């Protein structure tokens, strides 16, 4: 196996090959290789934002699709997200310096009365993997906590999770509170959790129900694109 490993010297690949290799390495969850390749692209003069979108986010999109399609499962996705984060930690300070646009910022938490967090944690990790900034409020979140965080963090997206049929109706309480405060339309609201479905998402006034973490990422991207378009049109 060592022979094959010797075959690939990242710095000898041209840009196109290197990006393709990064996508494979993300897919395989190889954090060190992603770090190395990120540094190589920076040395070659790539803009941090270009590396983020064309290599890392593009690579994680493939991972997300294969997760959605039942080809990859949670362990692989977590390893891929870890690799993505390794590259992201290099880019993050540079992105801040260059004033590059953020992909989006999400506040996420499991609703009041509910202590289940695996699904929510997965969404957090995959959103981060896709380049979003995520503020995780943890479990058992009251409406006030969500609302305060949305404002304090200048967030674009609210994500709410529930695993229990007894706690999912609390999502509506949060949304109603946002409506009452006149802030509902300032945010994209995504909801998820095992007992939910699309019908429920519509019934409580969320923007979308997301079946799993991969769908959450896709949906968040689609809504953010719409938001940016509206902003530039307005």
Residues contributing to the site for another protein (CB under 8 A): 1-5, 7-8, 17, 20-21, 23-25, 27-28, 30, 33, 62, 66, 69-76, 78-79, 82, 112-118, 121, 139-140, 164-170, 194-197, 199-200, 203, 212
Q: How far is the CB of 128 from another protein (least distance, A)?
A: 15
Q: How far is the CB of 102 from another protein (least distance, A)?
A: 27
Q: How far is the CB of 165 from another protein (least distance, A)?
A: 4
- Burial class from Cβ neighbours inside 10 Å (0-12, 13-18, 19+) for residue 118 reads exposed
**DSSP E strands, the chain:** 105-110, 133-136, 157-161, 188-192, 208-209
Closer to another protein by Cβ: residue 114 or 136: 114
Closer to another protein by Cβ: residue 10 or 94: 10
Closer to another protein by Cβ: residue 27 or 146: 27
Give the strand order in the sheet containing 133-136: 133-136, 105-110, 157-161, 188-192, 208-209
What is the Cα–Cα distance from 69 to 77, expressed in whole angstroms?
Answer: 13
Closer to another protein by Cβ: residue 3 or 185: 3
What is the Cα–Cα distance from 9 to 173, expressed in whole angstroms?
Answer: 55
């Amino acid at each position: 196996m060592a022979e094959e490993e010797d075959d690939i010297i990242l710095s000898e690949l041209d840009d196109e090959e290197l990006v393709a290799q990064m996508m494979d390495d993300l897919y395989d969850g190889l954090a060190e290789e992603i770090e190395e390749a990120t540094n190589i692209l920076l040395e070659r003069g790539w803009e941090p934002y270009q590396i983020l979108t064309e290599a890392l986010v593009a690579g994680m999109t493939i991972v997300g699709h294969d997760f959605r399609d039942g080809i990859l499962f949670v362990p692989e996705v977590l390893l891929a997200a870890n690799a993505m984060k390794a590259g992201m930690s290099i880019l993050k300070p540079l992105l801040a310096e260059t004033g590059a646009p953020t992909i989006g910022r999400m506040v996420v938490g499991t609703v009041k009365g509910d202590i289940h967090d695996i699904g929510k944690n997965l969404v957090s990790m995959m959103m981060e993997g896709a380049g979003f900034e995520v503020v995780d409020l943890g479990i058992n979140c009251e409406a006030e906590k969500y609302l305060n965080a949305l404002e304090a963090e200048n967030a674009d997206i609210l994500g709410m999770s529930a695993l229990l049929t007894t706690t999912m109706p609390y999502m509506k309480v949060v949304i109603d509170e946002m409506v009452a405060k006149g802030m509902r339309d300032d945010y994209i609201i995504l909801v998820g959790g095992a007992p939910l479905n699309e019908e429920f998402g519509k019934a409580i006034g969320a923007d979308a129900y997301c079946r799993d973490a991969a769908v959450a990422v896709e949906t968040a991207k689609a809504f953010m694109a719409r938001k940016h378009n509206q902003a530039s049109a307005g």
